[in-house]
Structure 1
């Protein structure tokens, strides 16, 4: 596996959540830089050092409502 993809969303109560696509990995943090550290740590814990994918791709989803 060359990469793992995380879906990153802003949490309704503040901060961010990240969920890996196709794997049982979920993490959250108060800010985006902290979230990246949490994602790296959660990925290493899930796969172990030898099988951790070399690339982590973040797909950020942002919902915004604007007046018509």
Structure 2
């Protein structure tokens, strides 16, 4: 059983966010971070059987910020 699953969450070019699981073939999208939390949880529930369900979901949120010098 997987104890924890990690998602890399990034801002999408067209707006919103994408979330990709590391080490698993799970990908989802959401309009904002609150929605990402919901859709990630739903995607994990759909991907795993009850006996293999991870106990924790970790979101690693990557945000690029550009500032002028």
SS in 2 for 1:37: helix
Find runs of 4+ consecutive structure 1 residues off by over 3 angstroms: none
Query: Where does structure 1 lack aligned partners over 5 or more consecutive residues?
Result: none
- Say if 2:61 is the partner of 1:39: no
Query: Where does structure 2 lack aligned partners over 5 or more consecutive residues?
Result: none
For normalisation by structure 2, the TM-score amounts to: 0.93
Moved more, 40-49 or 14-23: 40-49
1:3-57 deviation digits (Å, cap 9, x = unpaired): 0000000111111100000000000011111111100010111112221101000
User: What is the RMSD of the two structures over their aligned residues, measured on CA atoms?
Assistant: 0.8
Q: Which residue of 1 aligns with 2:29?
A: 28
SS in 2 for 1:5: strand
Q: Which residue of 1 aligns with 2:17?
A: 16
